[in-house]
Amino acid sequence: MNDQQYDKPMIMVRDLNKWFGEFHVLKGVNLTVRTGEVIVIIGPSGSGKSTFIRTINRLEEHDGGQIVVDGTELTHDVRNIARIRQEIGMVFQSFNLFPHLTVLQNITLAPNWVRRWPRLKAEKKAMELLERVHIPEQAYKYPGQLSGGQQQRVAIARALAMEPKVMLFDEPTSALDPEMIKEVLDVMKELAASGLTMLCVTHEMGFAREVADRVLFFDKGEIVEEGTPEVFFEAPRSERARQFLTQILKH
Amino acid sequence: MVANLPMQRPKLATGPRAWARKNLFRTWYDSLLTLIVAALALSALLSFIQWSVTDARWSVVTENVSTLMRGIYPTDALWRVTASVLLVVGLAGVSWGVWGSRFRSIGIALFGFAVLLLVVLSIQRGTAAAGSLSRYLTTQFLPLLDVIRDPLLILIALLTVGALLGRGLARANYVISSRALVILWLVTIPLVLLLVRGLTPNTPVLPLVPTSLWGGLLLTFMMAFVASVFCFPLGILLALGRMSGAHARRGEKGLRGWIRSQGNYPVVKIFCTIYIEFLRGVPLVTVLFTANLLVGFALGSTDIDSVVRAMVALTLFEAAYVAEIVRGGLQAVPPGQAEAARAMGLNPLQATLLITLPQALRVVIPSLVGQFITLFKDTSLVAIVGLLDLIGIAESVRQKAEFSGTQREMYVFVAAIYFVICFSMSVAARQLERSGSGRTTTR
C-alpha cells in the first residue's frame, strides 16, 4: 500500500451525536477516513460501534454533527441519502440475504433496479463476484441451501455488486461457526488488499492486526483510542483499552 | 464378529393392522373412544342414507337445477356463462399443470371419479323392481346424476387436458410459461366479467344482461370472484398504509418533508387503522345494508343496481380482514430484510414490492385462502338484502307449494356445492404453498 492514495478523505465525521431515547449512544465522534483506508472498530458490546457505522449509510439517523461521504453530506434530503447508499456497501451480522431470491438474483437486484444495468451486464458482474468470493457454483441455489459462511460470502458479493467506494462490515463473522469464520475473513483480507475503503466492526483481533491501517477503540459512545494495530495491540495508552484487550486475549 | 456389522434399524411393523393398533387401540380407553366415535359416526351415516333413500324427495333439486345454477339468466345468452366457465376451468387446469406439484394423486382421484360416474350411469336403468333402494335409484338418484354427469365429465376432461398441457409447457420452459400464465389470468378476469355482463343493451354482439337477471350459483360465483379480485389489492394497500407509521422518524417540516419522509405517513396510518378496525368491528349484514343505502348516494345516482352495491360492500368488508392478514405477514419478515434493501439503495417502494411484500404474502397464503373461503361463504348473506344467490334461490324454490317440506333436500344439496368448492380451494392452496415456497428460510 502506498501513501498517495490516502490523501483524499472518503468519509468525514464531525462531532457526531446520537440518542436512543434518553440514552446517549454516540458522544461527539470525530473521524476522517481516507480513500483506501481499512479501519477496524473494536470495543465492548453496547459501546456504540455498530450504531456508529450504521449512521454512515443512515440506517440510523444522527441527531447532531455532520457526516460527509465522498463529498456528499448526509441530510434529510432523500436524494443525498440514495446517492450515498449507492456508494456504500454493507454486510450484516445476520447476512440478511433475501430468502425468496436465488443467489444470483440477490446479487443482481440492486444493479438492476438502482443502477439500471441491463440484465446481462448485471449477471456477468455477479458471476465475476461469485468467482471472487469462491462460490460460483452456488449461483442458482437459494440462500437457505447454503452454509453460513457461504451465505456471508454471497452477502459480500451482493454488496460489491453496486461497485461501492466504501464497504461497511457489521460484525460479519459473529453469527458463524468457527470453521466458517476463516473463509469469510479470507475474502475480507483480499478485499482490503485490493484497495477498497473498509470499516469493519469485529471481534477478530487477528484480522485487525493483519489488515487494519488503523484500529479504533470504542467505549461508552466515544472513540477512546485510535492508532495503528502495532501500537494499539502492543502498547495501549488508555486503561479501558488495556482491560478490554486482556479480557479478549484470555479466551 | 457380530459386533462389527453395521447396526440395522429395527424393523417396524407396517400395514393397516399395525397402524390401527398403534393409533386406534393402543390402550383400553383409546379402544373405547374409537368404538364410541365409530358407532356415532356410523349411526349418523346410516340414518342419513336411510332418509336419503326412503323419505327424501330429490326431485326438488333435479327439477330446479338450472334455476339454482343461474337464476333467470336468459337462456339465449347462456353460452356466455358456459364459455366463461370453460375458460376458467381450462386455465385452472393449465395452472395446475405448471405450478402444481401433486399432479398424479389428484389426477387419479379425478379420473376415478369420472369412471365411477360413467359406470353408475351405464348400469341398466332397473325395471321398476320392488324395494325402496332400486326405486330410489331409478326415480331419484339417476335423474340427479343425469343432470350433473355431462358438465362434470366435461370439466374433469378439460381440467386434465389443461393440466397435461401445462405439464408439457412447464417442462419446455417453466419461466416463460409461468409468466404467460399470470398474464393470461390477468386477461381472463376482465374477459369473464365482460362475457357474463355484456356491453350495452343495444349492441348486437354481447348485449347487456343486467345484474338483476343474475342468480343462483352464477351470482354467488360472480360476487365472490369480483370481491376477491378487488379486496386483495385493496387489503394490501391498507396493510401497507397501516404499517406506514411503524418507524417514527424526524423529517423536514412542511409538505416537502412529508412527501420525502420515506414511508412515514401518520395521517395515512390513522386513516387505514380506523378503516380496518371499524369494518372488523361491524357485522357484514350491517355493511350490506349500509352499502345498499349509501353507494348510490356516494356516486350521486340512484340507479346503481343492488348487485354492484353488494359487491362493493363485500369488497370493502373483506379488504379489512385481508389487510390484517397481510400486516401479520409483513411483521413476520425480519427487519434486517428491509434494512438490507435500504442499505443497497432501493427506494422504499422497491424495497416493499421486491423484498418485504413477496415474503410476507408467502407466509400468509394459508390464512389468505382461509379468508377467501370465508368470503365465498359470506356471499350467502346477500340473500338478506334481497339478492337471489344460491341460498336466495334455494329458499324461494322450496317455498313453492309443490315442493313444500323439502328444505332438508335443498340444503343438503346447497351444502354439498359449497363444500366441494371450498374444499377445492383448500387443496389448491396447499399446492400453492408447496410449490416454490418450500425454500424460504429467514436469514
Average pLDDT for B172-185: 88
A28: left (phi over 0), alpha (psi -120 to 50) or beta: left
Question: Residue A82 and residue B347: Cβ atoms within 8 Å?
Answer: yes
**Strand duo A23-34 + A222-227: pairing:** unpaired
* Per-residue pLDDT at B65: 84
User: Hey, how many other C-beta atoms are within 10 angstroms of the C-beta on B186?
Assistant: 10
* Per-residue pLDDT at B129: 53
Does residue A17 sit in helix, strand or coil? strand
- A31 strand-pairing partners: A13
In terms of Cα–Cα distance, which of B57, B121, B73 is closest to B403? B57
* Per-residue pLDDT at B4: 65
* Per-residue pLDDT at B175: 84
Partner residue facing A57 (CB), from B260, B343, B441: B343
* Per-residue pLDDT at B237: 94
Sequential DSSP letters for B23-40? HTSSSHHHHHHHHHHHHH
Return phi, psi of residue B400, to 5°. Answer: -65, 150
Whether the per-residue pLDDT at B233 is higher than 60: the answer is yes
What are the per-10-residue average pLDDT scores of chain A (251 residues)?
Answer: 59 94 92 94 92 93 92 87 93 94 95 94 95 93 94 95 95 91 93 94 92 94 93 91 86 62
* Per-residue pLDDT at B280: 94
* Per-residue pLDDT at B245: 64
- With beta carbons less than 8 A apart as the criterion, state whether B163 and B94 touch: yes
* Per-residue pLDDT at A251: 62
Q: At which residue does the C-alpha cell 479501519 appear?
A: A39
- With beta carbons less than 8 A apart as the criterion, state whether B170 and B94 touch: no
Residue type for B437, please? S
**A29-43, B37-51, B64-78: lowest mean pLDDT where?**
B64-78
Q: What is the DSSP letter of B389?
A: B
Q: Which residues of B touch A92 (CB under 8 A)?
A: 336, 339-340
Reported as a single tens digit per residue, the pLDDT across A86-100 is 999 999 999 999 999
Partner residue facing A85 (CB), from B344, B350, B439: B344
Q: Which residue has the higher pLDDT, B151 or B236?
A: B236
Q: Which residue has the higher pLDDT, A159 or B133?
A: A159
**B105-109, B136-140, B353-357: lowest mean pLDDT where?**
B136-140
Whether the per-residue pLDDT at B23 is higher than 90: the answer is no
Average pLDDT for B144-167: 84
Cα separation, B19 vs B31, whole angstroms? 13
Q: Which residues of B touch A97 (CB under 8 A)?
A: 340, 443
Q: Which three cell numbers stand for residue A206?
A: 487477528
Q: With bands split at pLDDT 50, 70 and 90, how would you rate the model's confidence at B124?
A: low
* Per-residue pLDDT at B151: 82
Return phi, psi of residue B195, to 5°. Answer: -60, -45
* Closest residue on chain A to B340 (Cα): A96
User: Hey, how many other C-beta atoms are within 10 angstroms of the C-beta on B414?
Assistant: 20
Cα separation, B325 vs B321, whole angstroms? 6
Residue type for B290, please? T
* Per-residue pLDDT at B10: 77
Q: What is the DSSP letter of B206?
A: S
In terms of Cα–Cα distance, which of B63, B167, B172 is closest to B400? B63
**What's the pTM value of the predicted model, to 2 decimals?**
0.82
Q: What is the mean pLDDT of chain B?
A: 82
Q: For the CA atoms of A104, A109, A115, A120, what is the dihedral angle to 10 degrees?
A: 40
Interface test with B, best of A100, A106, A129 (most B CBs within 10 A): A100
Average pLDDT for B52-59: 79
* Per-residue pLDDT at B130: 57
Sequential DSSP letters for A167-215? EEEESTTTTS-HHHHHHHHHHHHHHHHTT-EEEEE-S-HHHHHHH-SEE
Residues of chain A whose C-beta is under 8 A from some C-beta in B? 57, 59, 61, 76-78, 82, 85-86, 88-90, 92, 94-100, 109-110, 113-114, 142-145, 151, 158-159, 162
Q: Which residue has the higher pLDDT, B101 or B317?
A: B317
Question: Residue B441 and residue A143: Cβ atoms within 8 Å?
Answer: yes
Q: Please, which residues have CB within 8 angstroms of residue B52's CB and are 6 or more apart in sequence?
A: B58, B136, B412
Whether the per-residue pLDDT at B408 is higher than 80: the answer is yes
Q: Please, which residues have CB within 8 angstroms of residue A38's CB and are 6 or more apart in sequence?
A: A192, A197, A198, A200, A211, A212, A213, A214
Reported as a single tens digit per residue, the pLDDT across B183-207 is 999 999 889 988 888 887 777 778 8
* Per-residue pLDDT at B153: 86
* Per-residue pLDDT at A210: 92
Q: Which residue has the higher pLDDT, B246 or A51?
A: A51
Q: With bands split at pLDDT 50, 70 and 90, how would you rate the model's confidence at B437?
A: very low
How large is the ipTM?
0.90
Average pLDDT for B318-342: 94
Q: With bands split at pLDDT 50, 70 and 90, how would you rate the model's confidence at B252?
A: very low
* Per-residue pLDDT at B215: 87
**A142-156, B20-34, B151-165, B249-263: lowest mean pLDDT where?**
B249-263
Q: How far apart are the CA of A234 and the nearest CA of chain B, in angstroms?
A: 36
